[in-house]
Amino acid sequence: MTRSWLEHIEEGLIAFLLAAMTVVTFAQVVARYIFNYSFTWALELTMYLFGALIFLGISYGVRVGAHIGVDALVRILPARIAHKFAIVSTLLCILYAAIVVYGGWVYVSKIYTIGIMAQDIPIPQWVPRIVLPLGYILLIWRLGEVLWRLLQGGQASLLGDEVADAMKYRSDDDSKGDAA
């Protein structure tokens, strides 16, 4: 399956945010402990970068099936009923994400209207906080993709399969041990 431009942007942005957080934090540690100097904006910038990483990473987790959850009941149900449960749970996730988008939009628009500025960085606070509704809009998109696959009768899951992953890595480790 070919990856879309959205997936490339999503992965690139997540990688950039993680790298930027690492560089800013490393520079702050070096400045503080070697040069006895501190960047007043480093903590706030790292906090904003981390928040963006979280809100964009939620949808990425849905795309790659990395979220964990309790699915013991669903696994013992007949496949047809489990499929219906998956559709209902996906719809509930979309509803929840839509509520967060609305609440996040209200929150960001109030910050914009009031004109609150960031504490240490000379930017309005709504700029870094806009990632809240945008991240959840992207989550709705990803959940919509899952729902579409489910409605088409295909296999789709909101959760990762930890047991399958553990067995895969276990077999990889076993094959390396046999080669030695």
pTM: 0.79
Residue 97 has what pLDDT?
96
Q: CA dist 48 to 1, 11, 96, Å?
A: 34, 18, 23
Rg for the chain, CA atoms, rounded: 21
Is the model more confident about 3 or about 80? 80
Q: Check whether 103 has a pLDDT greater than 90.
A: yes
Q: What's the mean pLDDT when you consider all of the chain?
A: 85
Dump pLDDT digits (tens) for 38-48: 898 999 999 99
